[in-house]
A and B are shown apart, each in its own frame.
Chain A
Amino acid sequence: MSHVPHPRPCGDFRTSYSADTSLFRTKVEGWTIYLGIFALLFTPLVFDDFYISQMILIGIYAIAALGLNVLVGFTGQISLGHSAFFGFGAFASAWLNNTTGIPVFICIPLAGLMTTAIGMIFGIPAARLKGLYLAIATLASQFILQDFFARADWFSGGAYGSAAEVVNFFGIDLDTDQKYFYLVLFWVVVSFLAVSNLRRSRDGRALVAVRDHYLSAEIMGINLTRYRIMSFGVSSFFAGLGGALYAHYLQYVSVEGFTILLSIQFLAMIIIGGLGSVSGSLLGAIFILLLPQFMEEVASGAAVIFEGIEQSKAYIKEMSVGAVIILFLIFEPEGLIHRWRLIRASWKLYPFSH
């Protein structure tokens, strides 16, 4: 969302316009990403269950955060109801599988499509509302959907929640974290690739134009209403996809998981990661998921040094999570991705500063 310079590697000059809109900025960047994905394929063999489960959750939240980033970062809309769509995807996938018996690995993207439809319906007010008013309208969608989950026994199992089957992929039960990791990795790669390409397409340009200059978008023949609703749809698709993966990972879905708190966490992920940045969504999800655990360690360490604060350890942890987020927003308002770009640029230019 910023107009901050994206520092370019030294000596890398673009000589054609197609190079200007390439998927990866440099060949090295492309290879680094391919190698990174390749390396991730082997992580379940190396790390223990705890790390794998954390990585799965990061992947799931990153997909949902990516969806929100399309809405907030690309189109400049806001949503305080993202976790409701995340929840809808979770229930929808479990419901589809339980009632129709469609294999779960097909139910997951189907749940994403169902969420798209719901998201577009709730996105209709977005065509007319802006800023704070839109925030309140999406807040309403959060409560409407939450209430729906709690009451619609046929869909969500009401207060009891509903069971989600283990994913069975052509006879292989993905019942351990190690196996499930590959499914999440697949969807993370697909989602991030899809959104990176969306940004380079005609529709992606239209979304960014709607955000940056809606009047000039209008005079170029872009239908504002259509693109605002479309961006709600795309955002909900990824929320639903993430939710469905979440449901079949835990194998149980209940209403309590999808509150406004989670919506705010999604917003925090993309703001901290970097608005409008595809890779920022992943960085933000990593940050928000790992920060409480890091702070837990810090608080435990503090409890050893300062005796007598053992009881209030939990509070100290929660407060420091809040404090870190505030400090982060003050000192790094452009998000983690901006810091990463600066680090990369200075590394390329070392030992000269400019």
Chain B
Amino acid sequence: MSSVSQLQSPTQDGTILAVNNIEVVFNDVILVLRGLNLTAERGKITALLGANGAGKSTTLKAIAGLLGSEDGEVSRGDIVYNGMNITQMPPEQRVRNGTFLVMEGRGIVHDMTVIENLRLGAFTQPQKNVAEDMEKVFNYFPRLKERTGLAGYLSGGEQQMLAIGRALMARPDLIMMDEPSMGLSPLLVKEVFGIIKRMNEELGISVLLVEQNANMALRAADYGYIMENGKIVLDGTADELMNNEDVKEFYLGGGGNERKSFKNIKSFKRRKRWL
């Protein structure tokens, strides 16, 4: 299991994203992230897990640069993407550099057709790429090809597919996904995760995955981080985390050797790092 010593320096090869000891403050008073460290490997799927309110989405927003519109800021530490310090970069520049966030709740534009939404995703791309990329999207999501009409009429699963397809249109190197399983049936969750895995393998896109559904996420991911109260408390390869007693108990359910009362559960018994 990893420890402080294993934190990679941003220049090291194979690291596409390194978040170094960031603090995020909202409205100048609310400290949400308190010194968070994580790295994402190039071409790998990294999962970020944690309970509600742990700060997972805030982490993604900090990486995508969206804190400004919610009165938040990164007050300490830095975010290094591809060897570039992007901590203060405006969000549209980050997109041009190859990061893309698939938002929680999909964030598709309801009043536009499917194709308009996809073209919107290709906003930063030259016109000549659009047709080719659209075929690529329909290859992954054949279902979208059959849907004409406004995107607001798509089902939840199709909207999620559209959101991921829209991300592909921007030709990103790193896709960040905020709860792709939200509101989907278990079967559809499986399908969506399968597609994420395929995209990762076939297109070599690195993925940073934020999830509540720890089981699905760890099965798809190569490496995982677990957050609590704005910090990483545990990290390791997906297999290690799956077999970790604490993770089983708190996130996967049914773990632990003996049945415990919730009264006795206050925190992790075996914390691995305090950063």
- Listed in ascending order, the chain A residues whose CB lies under 8 Å from chain B are 1, 3, 5-6, 8, 14-15, 17, 19-21, 202, 205-206, 208-209, 212-216, 218-224, 276
Q: Determine whether the beta carbon of A215 is less than 8 Å from that of B107.
A: yes
Q: Is B103 an interface residue (CB 8 A)?
A: yes
Residues of B within 8 A of A1 (CB): 111
- Listed in ascending order, the chain B residues whose CB lies under 8 Å from chain A are 64-66, 69, 90-92, 95-96, 100-101, 103, 107-116, 119-121, 123-124, 148-150, 152-153, 166, 170
Q: Once bound together, how far apart are the Cα atoms of A293 and B67, in whole Å?
A: 52
Q: Once bound together, how far apart are the Cα atoms of A221 and B100, in whole Å?
A: 9
Q: Decide: A223 near B92, CB < 8 A? Known: A3-B111, A212-B110, A216-B107.
A: yes
Q: Determine whether the beta carbon of B69 is less than 8 Å from that of A216.
A: no
Residues of B within 8 A of A218 (CB): 65-66, 69, 91-92
**Could you write out 21 A-B pairs with CB less than 8 Å apart?**
A3-B150, A3-B152, A14-B149, A17-B113, A17-B114, A17-B115, A17-B148, A19-B148, A202-B123, A205-B109, A205-B116, A205-B119, A212-B110, A213-B109, A215-B66, A219-B64, A220-B120, A220-B166, A221-B95, A222-B123, A223-B92
Q: Give min CB distance, A208 to chain B, whole Å.
A: 6
Q: Give min CB distance, A201 to chain B, whole Å.
A: 10
Residues of B within 8 A of A209 (CB): 109, 112, 120
Q: Give min CB distance, A9 to chain B, whole Å.
A: 13
Q: Once bound together, how far apart are the Cα atoms of A205 and B116, in whole Å?
A: 7
Q: Decide: A21 near B116, CB < 8 A? Known: A219-B103, A220-B123, A221-B95.
A: yes
Of listed B69, B92, B119, B170, residue having the most chain A CB within 10 A: B92
Q: Determine whether the beta carbon of B91 is less than 8 Å from that of A219.
A: yes
Q: Determine whether the beta carbon of B90 is less than 8 Å from that of A223.
A: yes
Residues of A within 8 A of B64 (CB): 219
The chain B residue sitting closest to A210, CB to CB, is B109
Q: Determine whether the beta carbon of A20 is less than 8 Å from that of B149.
A: yes
Q: Give min CB distance, B201 to chain A, whole Å.
A: 24
Number of cross-chain contacts by CB at 8 Å = 90
Nearest 4 Cβ contacts at the A-B interface: A216-B107, A221-B95, A221-B124, A17-B115
Residues of B within 8 A of A5 (CB): 153
Q: Once bound together, how far apart are the Cα atoms of A5 and B110, in whole Å?
A: 11
Residues of A within 8 A of B66 (CB): 215, 218-219
The chain B residue sitting closest to A205, CB to CB, is B120
Q: Give min CB distance, B196 to chain A, whole Å.
A: 18
Residues of A within 8 A of B69 (CB): 214-215, 218, 224
Question: Which of B112, B119, B152, B170 sits near A202, CB closer than 8 Å?
Answer: B119
Question: Which of B92, B110, B113 sits near A221, CB closer than 8 Å?
Answer: B92
Q: Determine whether the beta carbon of B114 is less than 8 Å from that of A206.
A: no
Q: Determine whether the beta carbon of B96 is less than 8 Å from that of A208.
A: no
Residues of B within 8 A of A14 (CB): 148-149
Q: Once bound together, how far apart are the Cα atoms of A237 and B110, in whole Å?
A: 28
Residues of A within 8 A of B113 (CB): 17, 20-21
Q: Give min CB distance, A212 to chain B, whole Å.
A: 5
Residues of A within 8 A of B92 (CB): 218, 221-223
Q: Give min CB distance, B20 to chain A, whole Å.
A: 22
Residues of B within 8 A of A206 (CB): 120, 123
Q: Decide: A220 near B170, CB < 8 A? Known: A20-B149, A208-B112.
A: yes
Q: Give min CB distance, B251 to chain A, whole Å.
A: 27
Q: Decide: A216 near B152, CB < 8 A? Known: A208-B109, A209-B109.
A: no
Residues of A within 8 A of B112 (CB): 205, 208-209, 212
Residues of B within 8 A of A219 (CB): 64, 66, 91, 95, 100-101, 103, 107
Q: Once bound together, how far apart are the Cα atoms of A43 and B120, in whole Å?
A: 42
Residues of B within 8 A of A15 (CB): 148
Residues of A within 8 A of B166 (CB): 220
Given A20-B114, A219-B103, 13 other A-B residues pairs in contact with their CB atoms under 8 A:
A3-B150, A17-B115, A20-B116, A205-B116, A209-B109, A212-B111, A213-B107, A218-B65, A218-B92, A219-B91, A219-B101, A221-B123, A223-B92
Q: Once bound together, how far apart are the Cα atoms of A3 and B90, in whole Å?
A: 31
Residues of B within 8 A of A276 (CB): 111
Residues of B within 8 A of A216 (CB): 103, 107-109
The chain B residue sitting closest to A219, CB to CB, is B101
Q: Once bound together, how far apart are the Cα atoms of A208 and B120, in whole Å?
A: 10
Residues of B within 8 A of A8 (CB): 149
The chain A residue sitting closest to B106, CB to CB, is A216
Q: Once bound together, how far apart are the Cα atoms of A1 and B112, in whole Å?
A: 11
Residues of A within 8 A of B95 (CB): 219-221
Residues of B within 8 A of A19 (CB): 148
The chain A residue sitting closest to B121, CB to CB, is A220
Q: Once bound together, how far apart are the Cα atoms of A6 and B150, in whole Å?
A: 9
Q: Give min CB distance, A60 to chain B, whole Å.
A: 29
Q: Once bound together, how far apart are the Cα atoms of A205 and B92, in whole Å?
A: 16
Question: Which of A212, A213, A220 sits near B124, CB closer than 8 Å?
Answer: A220
Q: Once bound together, how far apart are the Cα atoms of A156 and B114, in whole Å?
A: 49
The chain B residue sitting closest to A14, CB to CB, is B148
